[in-house]
Amino acid sequence: MSAHLDPRLLRAFLAVAEELHFTRAAARLYVAQQALSRDVRRLERELGAELFVRTTRQVTLTPDGERLVPHARRVLQAQDDLLAAFRQARPLLVDLNSPGLETSRRVLYRARELAPELELMARYESGLTGAAGEIVAGRLDASFGRYAGLDPALRAGLDHQLVRCEPMAVLLPEGHRLAASAEVPLGALVGESVYAGAGNPRTPEWTDLGRLLFEGRGIEVAPPAPLAVGIEEFQRIMAKEPHPILVVVGFPAMPGTVLRPLVDPVPLSPVSLVWRKGLVHPALDALRRAAAELASAESWLERPAGAWIPAIDMNLTSTDA
């Protein structure tokens, strides 16, 4: 007997066993009677057993045929259950970094519009490094952030698609000397300590971006602050040490602060959609389409003349998928 049994042969057998008539069974399966008879004979050869007694007047099951019926039903039901489970794709778990961030939120919402039959569930890991470990481990599917700032060992298990070169900004306390300015030249921050997430194990890629931006400009990265989880805790901790905070222009508003774009030059934060290498999921396809659509429609990948972006990011901004 063959170690591999084609489920099609069991379906042919079961149709004849239930109809006890080859013509009706063939019509039920939408196949030619000759093909059905051939499949039944093949099954009998593979099992080494006669399954039906055929006469010109009737078809009846042999004892071996009767013994096979319940087994065939269980096998085919298991196959149907398996196919049904995978026709309904599992939810795609998408990390948006932090609540309210414009780029990741808009890509997710557009993907939901493109594929309303699929489920894309938002998660908030607070930084790409923290999310990347979860993605590689299979506990998360996708995230957004600065791909070039990840450890190379993490990048080896990931693919990415550049979504946006997002202009950077600073959050200033309302009473700060630069709060009244519409824009803040980088040179105006000389002597300042600017918070860029130093000490947060989830966001070293962001702290590294701040260090690269401030290097040689007389601007310091503010020392580590207690790790705050959630916007309310972040606001409370930041209020105790009122440093300017390095953010992107799409950062959500915080009470007691004003957001001011950085200029001269305009620094850009490369935001990529990042996912586990080899991941196949229809919702990921929708997410990638949404990212590409928004990037094209809103010129998210255009760089202003003289804009600043780290050299390592320039080398890793192509799609690796």
pLDDT value of position 318? 46
pLDDT value of position 88? 63
Position 321 in a domain: no
117 & 33 share domain: no
65 & 97 share domain: no
DSSP string across 17-84 = HHHS-HHHHHHHHTS-HHHHHHHHHHHHHHHTS--EEE-SS-EEE-HHHHHHHHHHHHHHHHHHHHHH
pLDDT value of position 320? 42
pLDDT confidence of 291, banded at 50, 70, 90?
very high
* Helix and strand counts by DSSP (H, E) for the chain: 11, 12
Asked if 105 contacts 126 with a C-beta cutoff of 8 angstroms, the reply is: no
74 & 122 share domain: no
- For residues 107 and 4, what is the distance between their CA atoms, to the nearest angstrom? 45
Q: Is the pTM of this model over 0.75?
A: no
Position 60 in a domain: yes
41 & 127 share domain: no
- For residues 290 and 268, what is the distance between their CA atoms, to the nearest angstrom? 21
> How many domains is the chain built from?
2
pLDDT value of position 236? 75
Asked if 118 contacts 106 with a C-beta cutoff of 8 angstroms, the reply is: no
Q: Report the C-alpha dihedral over residues 11, 12, 18, 21, rounded to 10 degrees.
A: 170
188 & 82 share domain: no
Task: State the CATH number of the domain containing residue 142.
Answer: 3.40.190.290
pLDDT value of position 227? 72
235 & 112 share domain: yes
pLDDT value of position 36? 93
Nearest Cα neighbor of 146 from 157, 155, 138 is: 155
Asked if 281 contacts 89 with a C-beta cutoff of 8 angstroms, the reply is: yes
- For residues 82 and 70, what is the distance between their CA atoms, to the nearest angstrom? 18
Position 159 in a domain: yes
Sequence-separated contacts (24+) of 134-138 with Cβ below 8 Å = 134/95, 135/95, 135/274, 135/275, 135/276, 136/276, 138/276
pLDDT value of position 94? 97
- For residues 88 and 81, what is the distance between their CA atoms, to the nearest angstrom? 11
Q: Is the dihedral of CA 127, 132, 137, 143 positive or negative?
A: positive
- Name the burial class of residue 221, with classes exposed (0-12), middle (13-18) and buried (19+) by CB atoms within 10 angstroms of its CB: buried
Q: Domain range spanning residue 15? A: 7-87
235 & 280 share domain: yes
pLDDT confidence of 232, banded at 50, 70, 90?
confident
pLDDT single digits (tens) 95-105:
999 888 999 99
The two most distant CA atoms of the chain are separated, in Å, by: 101
Asked if 253 contacts 259 with a C-beta cutoff of 8 angstroms, the reply is: yes
Question: Which residue in this structure is represented by tokens 């209020």?
Answer: 239
Q: Is residue 13 predicted with pLDDT exceeding 70?
A: yes
Task: Find the radius of gyration of the CA atoms of the chain.
Answer: 30
pLDDT single digits (tens) 149-158:
999 999 999 9
Q: Is residue 85 predicted with pLDDT exceeding 50?
A: yes
141 & 243 share domain: yes
Q: Is residue 53 predicted with pLDDT exceeding 80?
A: yes
Q: Where are the alpha helices (DSSP H) in the chain?
A: 7-19, 22-29, 33-47, 63-87, 102-114, 128-136, 152-155, 204-214, 231-240, 282-297, 311-315
- For residues 234 and 201, what is the distance between their CA atoms, to the nearest angstrom? 15
DSSP, res 110: H
